[in-house]
A and B are shown apart, each in its own frame.
Chain A
Amino acid sequence: MSGFRRPLNPVLARELRVRMRGRQAAVVLTLYLTILSLFLYLTYRSVTDIAALSGISSVASSASAGRNVFQWLLVVMLALVCFIVPGLTGGAITGERERQTLIPLQVTLMKPLSILLGKLGASVAFTLFLVVAALPLIGVAFVLGGVSVGEVIAGTAIVLFIALVLAVFSLGWSSVFRRSQLATVTSYAITLFLVLGTPLIYASQRIASSSYQGSGHTSKAIMVLNPFVLTADVAGGQTGSSSAPLNGLRSFVHPNSYSVGSSLVRSNGTTFTRSNPVRIPQPYEGFPFWVRSVIVFLGLCGTTLAVATYRLRTPAPKER
């Protein structure tokens, strides 16, 4: 209520108002929650079935189920974010160009960066809305146990961060291209590259290097660009359980922390619940994996925003 409060970015305010009114938001939210609930149910079922078969104590199996459910939820949430954000953001600027609404906006006192940040805010706000809507489901995992508050916070934060990164990339394409279709397709292609292209490059590097030397060491640098590996490194548990998806991915980044093939062990009535991972302290490698990943992403986002701002500057050498 204070008179000195800075008003909300006009573009953001407009987007929020129009988006929330549209039916699209409700449809996306419904689909999103349906898919997440389905996964919640399936993971819970499969984990408890395995536990019942192997005769593991209920407390331990509940904790394991909680961990599995949480991690699967994060993975599916992230997958949905990767699916939704490029579609949501790829047309942000091209759409204004196509509807010929960009020029009236450019002759106001709004600077290109504010226009971009308003669009970005709208995309991230929608993702935040989706993440918050999924919190009750994550709550189920939390009640089952085996998940710490820290993991929940870190997991949702990193999903939001990745949403922001994908939104910035998509916004960049949206300001580079003239057509929404091209911008959106390219945004999806980039997302697909980050998710599937990076492990493919890694795998091909590995194959190439192992054909030269017996046990070639392949650089994992390319994997800092992988959203799932980043999420695993931030939110994956410390204890190995390969059926929990993020733990498996995390062991890829930190192979030394885990014993190979650690998993639920069928122990025929004994109280062992899982094999004890053997921890070998990692040699000092500079920044942790996730910090490197975040820094690389932030750098790319900064560059993208700079290019997009440049593309939207006026007076321009060419109009439209």
Chain B
Amino acid sequence: MSENAIEIYGLTKRYGDLFAVRDLNLKIPHGSVYGLIGPNGAGKTTTLSVLASLLEPTAGRVLVGGFDPSRDAQGVRRKVGYMPDVMGLYENMRVNEYLQFFAAAYRIPAKEWPALIGGLLELVDLTDKGDAFVDGLSRGMKQRLSLARALAHDPEILLLDEPASGLDPHARIELRGLVQELASMGKTVVISSHILPELEEMCTEVAIMEAGALLASGPPKEIGVGTGQTRSVKVRLWGGSEKTFEVADEIEQRDLVRRLVVDEELPVIEVTTIEENLEDLFLRVTKGQRQ
């Protein structure tokens, strides 16, 4: 088998006149955390759906874990855990029952369920929620339950479509930790987002897409993503005044907030990170290519 977990050759998906993905070529190495970045409509979900054996491409060929989803979908499904961009959970079940259902759907023998589910819940930090009903979980918890579901059959490859959407900053940091843990377990993780800072810190490689086409791909530093980038943090104080600071990363941001709240005793009521504008990024990336 090749050293790549996923290989995409000339992938094209057309809806009528619209190219959702146009001639995409990518190789995703084993054990990498691979980011698919692009604005709305870039073709991220379409690409992941093809990889997850849900969508038949118009042209091109993909290999996922060595299998072609068009020919051997079952082979792909054994190796892939997929978390869609929408959170489809059965609300009227308990968390344990929900995971049992998917364990059964992945044909895992019932006697292995308790250990499996215990392990999954621990991994996604839902251990004490096993008996809770799904509809009572917070959005972040539901997201983690979706991830646990995608991991039920211990897949080598994980496809996560916008897993951080709708999560608060704290939950995003948790998610990042989780992805890193999965990577340390040797899994290949493909993760999509339209927010760059979310990915640049955890991805070993990224691909930047727009309107179905690949703009650039490679390790973030190499393609000029995240080099010398600062992030803006907007701090709102009680009484309505706002201040904007520039920080380098997460840790500096934490130090900043500690300084304001603890040392200067300012009445901070809100801290927002201003995400980098994708337009700027694309300009930079495409310029970088032309040079």
The listed residue (B70, B90, B91, B107) touching A315 by CB distance below 8 A is B70
Q: Does B101 contact A (CB under 8 A)?
A: yes
A101 in contact with B90 (CB, 8 Å): yes
- B137 CB to closest chain A CB (Å) equals 15
In the bound complex, do residue B90 and residue A18 qualify as a contact, i.e. CB atoms below 8 Å apart?
yes
- Number of A residues whose C-beta is below 8 Å from B? 27
Interface string of B79-103 (1 = CB under 8 A from A): 0101010111111110001000110
| C-alpha gap A186/B70 in the complex (Å) | 33
Please report the number of residue pairs spanning A and B whose Cβ atoms sit closer than 8 angstroms. Answer: 86
Tell whether B50 is near chain A: CB-to-CB under 8 Å: yes
Q: Are B84 and A315 in contact (CB under 8 A)?
A: no
B104 at the interface (CB under 8 A from A): yes
Identify the closest chain A residue to B53 (Cβ). A315
Is A106 in the interface zone, CB < 8 Å from B? yes
Q: How far is the CB of B63 from chain A (nearest CB, A)?
A: 14
**CB closest residue in chain B, given A106:** B54
Interface 9-mer from A9-17, A31-39, A176-184, A298-306: A9-17
Residue of A11, A100, A103, A315 with most partner-chain B CB within 10 A: A315
Q: Does A314 contact B (CB under 8 A)?
A: yes
| CA A100 to CA B53, docked complex, whole Å | 17
Given contacts A108-B106, A109-B107, contact A319 B55 (CB under 8 A): yes
Interface status of A42 (Cβ within 8 A of chain B)? no
B77 → A minimal CB distance (Å): 6
Give every chain B residue within 8 A of A133 (Cβ-Cβ): none
| Cβ of A110 under 8 Å from chain B | yes
- The winner among A99, A106, A107, A109 for most chain B CB atoms within 10 A is A107
Q: CB-CB < 8 A to B102: which residues of A?
A: 104, 108
Closest chain A residue to B70 by CB distance?
A: A315
Within 8 A of B (CB), among A117-164: none
Counting CB contacts under 8 A, is B74 at the interface?
yes
A318 to chain B: which residues have CB within 8 Å? 15, 55
In the assembled complex, the Cα of A110 lies from the Cα of B69 at a distance in Å of 15
List A residues 291-320 near B (Cβ within 8 Å): 314-319
- A10, A13, A101, A319: the one contacting B54 at CB < 8 Å is A319
Bound CA span A104–B50, Å? 14
Question: Given A100-B84, A104-B84, A109-B107, are A317 and B56 neighbors across the interface (CB < 8 Å)?
Answer: yes
Let me know if B73 is at the binding interface, CB within 8 A: yes
Task: Enumerate chain B residues within 8 angstroms of A315, measured Cβ to Cβ.
Answer: 50, 53-56, 69-70, 73
Question: Nearest 6 A-B pairs (CB), nearest first?
Answer: A100-B88, A10-B104, A108-B105, A101-B88, A315-B56, A100-B86
Question: B residues near A, CB below 8 A?
Answer: 15, 49-50, 52-56, 69-70, 73-74, 77-78, 80, 82, 84, 86-93, 97, 101-102, 104-107, 109-110, 146, 149-150, 153
14 further A-B pairs in the complex, CB-CB below 8 A; given A101-B89, A107-B80, A108-B106: A14-B90, A17-B93, A100-B86, A101-B88, A103-B54, A104-B88, A104-B102, A108-B102, A108-B105, A110-B105, A314-B53, A315-B54, A315-B70, A317-B56
